[in-house]
Amino acid sequence: MRSFIMRNPSEFAFALGLIDLTSLNDADTVADIRQLARDAVTPLGTVAALCVFPRFVATAKAELAVLSPGVRVATVANFPHGEDDADGAAREVAAAVAAGADEVDVVLPWRALQSGNETAGRDLVAACRAAVGDRILKVIIESGCLGTPALIRRASELAIEGGAHFLKTSTGKVAVNATLEAAEIMLRAIRESGRTVGFKAAGGIRTATEASAYLDLARRLMGADWVQPANFRFGASSLRQELLFEAGLGAQHASATSY
């Protein structure tokens, strides 16, 4: 049973600081990304990162350099398809880093794992880890498509073995995205690996109540001190606004952009 629910501004501010504010829409424009960067800065504080398509990394970096240099810029690779092409994914990661990305979220070849090929996922993550250098590599396992607890667990293990800095639930582009059940499997895999690996819940987390459930789970399994931006993120677009509303700040700080 969940024991933690956000109730006060400091708790809303803490959750806000865990958000990777995300816009990964095919129709995104430079103006949309500039607005996203402005949305990163709120009366409650700033989000952890902006997550945008590679073509917008430079725009996001330039805007944030003025607005809030501490907000990181994340992008995606092998996205959203999750193909079995380690060299191609690594080239995308290297290009993203060259463009200035601080973090790259790469999709594990989950279909290959479903077909029984475990090597593909581990090799792709290892290649991308080498390409990312001193930046952060988050590995999206697409838990909602893997479906079974055994496959979610194995995908998590392979990503960790390949050198992932974070495990991420979902692209947000499929029917089933983040779930508490998948999150628990992934967090247990992290804990039992003994490695320093973070966790990102992405896709469908829109309210303070939903976010509270993930925070409570992570604190229960990993310890309260573990839940910090270096270890835990929400991949979200609308959660920012809901937290502002809950804190009584939403109406005057609504985004001009819908994402």
Per-residue pLDDT of the chain (259 residues), as tens digits, is 456 678 888 999 999 999 999 999 999 999 999 999 999 999 999 999 999 999 999 999 999 999 999 999 999 999 999 999 999 999 999 999 999 999 999 999 999 999 999 999 999 999 999 999 999 999 999 999 998 999 999 999 999 999 999 999 999 999 999 999 999 999 999 999 999 999 999 999 999 999 999 999 999 999 999 999 999 999 999 999 999 999 998 655 555 343 3
Cα gap 105→77, rounded to integer Å: 6
Q: Does the annotation mark 105 as catalytic?
A: yes
Residues near 147 by beta carbon (within 8 Å), at least 6 away in sequence: none
How far is it, in rounded angstroms, from Cα 119 to Cα 113? Answer: 8
- Report DSSP state, residue 27: T
Contact 146, 155 (CB under 8 A): yes
- Is 200 annotated as catalytic? yes
Tokens 């960067």 belong to which residue? 37
Catalytic residue, from 168, 173, 216, 225: name it: 168
User: Which residues lie below 8 Å from residue 27, measured CB to CB, with a gap of 6+?
Assistant: none
Catalytic residue (one of 32, 102, 123, 200): 200
Q: Which residues touch 196 (CB under 8 Å, ≥6 apart)?
A: none
- Alpha-carbon distance of 199 to 205, in angstroms, equals 14
| Six-digit token string for 106 | 């790469």
Using DSSP, how many helices (H) and how many strands (E) does the chain show?
11, 10
Run of H or E including 29: none
Considering the candidates 39, 84, 105, 123, report the single residue annotated as catalytic.
Answer: 105
And the tokens for 258?
């819908």
Phi and psi of 227, rounded to 5°? -80, 90
Contact between 163 and 129 (Cβ < 8 Å):
yes
Its pTM stands at 0.95
**CA distance linking residue 206 with residue 239, whole number of Å:** 5
